[in-house]
C-alpha cells in the first residue's frame, strides 16, 4: 500500500499571501489529521477530518482552514500568511480516527514565509 | 499545550548501548504512542500501548506504561547509528472515541555514535 503523500514538499511564500497544502491518505483511511511543527512550539494539532466533516480543531486562528473530499484526500489552507507560519506541516491518516487506530504520517510540507 | 514531556531532551550514546527515554503526561489517556522522526521529516509510528497494558515489545523496542505515575518509557536495546533521530511520545485525550487530537511531547533527540 502506498503511504501518505503530501504536496508540495517545499513552499516559499511571502507575508500576506495564502497557501494550499494537499494530503492524500493511505487507501481505505477515512480520517485525516493535520499538525504544525515548529522548533519553538513542537508538534501541534490543527484539525481532523472524517467523512468530509471537521471533527476536531486545535487552537489555531481562523486563517487556518481545511477540507476533506469524498475520496478522503484533504487540503489545508492558510490565508494572510505571517512569518510565524513558517513550519513543517504534517498530515496523518488513520482508518477511522479511533483512539485505537495508528496514525500514519506523511513526509510533510516545509513552508517558509518571507 | 503539551501533554507529554520527554526526558531527557537530548541523549548521546555509543552504538551497541541501550537508550532509555521517558515521557510524562498530565491527564488520563486511552493509549500512548511513540514515534520517531528523522531530521525534520515525517513521523514513523513505533509502538502503541493501551492504558490497560503495562509493557509491550517490538523488536529492539520495549515500552512500559505506568498510569498511576502518568509516565511511560521507551527502551531501545543494542542501538545502531540508524537509530539517530528524535523520539516523541503522543497521547490522546480520553474523550469519546475519536483520536483526532494527538498531543505530542517536545521529543528526545537521540544521537548514536558509531
CA B30 to chain centre: 15
Tell me: the pLDDT tens digits for B60-86? 999 999 999 999 999 999 999 999 999
CB contact B104 to A (< 8 Å): yes
CB contact B100 to A (< 8 Å): yes
pLDDT class for B94, splitting at 50, 70, 90?
low
Tell me: the pLDDT tens digits for A41-97? 899 999 999 999 998 888 899 999 999 999 999 999 999 999 999 999 999 999 988
pLDDT class for B3, splitting at 50, 70, 90?
low
pLDDT class for B1, splitting at 50, 70, 90?
very low
Q: Are A13 and A114 in contact (CB under 8 A)?
A: yes
CB contact A103 to B (< 8 Å): yes
Collapsing DSSP to helix, strand or coil, A85 comes out as helix
Of A65, A63, A62, A45, which is closest to residue A54 (Cα–Cα)?
A65
CA B12 to chain centre: 16
CB contact B12 to A (< 8 Å): no
Average pLDDT, chain B: 89
Window 18-37 of B, Cβ < 8 Å to A: 30-31, 33, 35
Q: DSSP label at A51? A: T
Report DSSP letters for B4-38, one per residue: -EEE-SEEEEETTS-EEEEEE-SS--SEEEEEEE-
Determine the length of chain B.
114
The whole-number average pLDDT for the span A21-48 is 94
Q: Do B102 and A45 touch (CB under 8 A)?
A: yes
| CA B46/CA B36 separation, integer angstroms | 7
Amino acid at each position: 500500500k502506498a503511504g501518505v503523500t503530501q504536496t508540495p514538499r517545499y513552499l516559499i511564500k511571502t507575508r500576506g499571501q495564502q497557501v494550499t497544502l494537499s494530503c492524500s491518505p493511505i487507501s481505505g483511511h477515512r480520517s485525516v489529521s493535520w499538525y504544525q511543527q515548529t522548533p519553538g512550539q513542537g508538534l501541534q494539532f490543527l484539525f481532523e477530518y472524517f467523512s468530509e466533516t471537521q471533527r476536531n480543531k486545535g487552537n489555531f486562528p481562523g486563517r487556518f482552514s481545511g477540507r476533506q473530499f469524498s475520496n478522503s484526500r484533504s487540503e489545508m489552507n492558510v490565508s494572510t500568511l505571517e512569518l510565524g507560519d513558517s513550519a513543517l506541516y504534517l498530515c496523518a491518516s488513520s482508518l477511522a480516527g479511533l483512539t485505537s487506530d495508528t496514525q500514519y504520517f506523511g513526509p510533510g510540507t516545509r513552508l517558509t514565509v518571507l | 499545550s503539551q501533554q507529554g514531556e520527554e526526558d531527557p531532551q537530548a541523549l548521546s550514546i555509543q552504538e551497541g548501548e541501550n537508550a532509555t527515554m521517558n515521557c510524562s503526561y498530565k491527564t488520563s489517556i486511552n493509549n500512548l504512542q511513540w514515534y520517531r522522526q528523522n531530521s525534520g521529516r515525517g513521523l514513523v509510528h513505533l509502538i502503541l500501548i493501551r492504558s490497560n497494558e503495562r509493557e509491550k515489545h517490538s523488536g529492539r523496542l520495549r515500552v512500559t506504561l505506568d498510569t498511576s505515575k502518568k509516565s511511560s518509557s521507551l527502551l531501545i536495546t543494542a542501538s545502531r547509528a540508524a537509530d539517530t533521530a528524535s523520539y516523541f511520545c503522543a497521547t490522546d485525550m480520553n474523550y469519546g472515541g475519536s483520536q483526532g487530537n494527538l498531543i505530542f511531547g517536545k521529543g528526545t533527540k537521540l544521537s548514536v555514535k558509531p
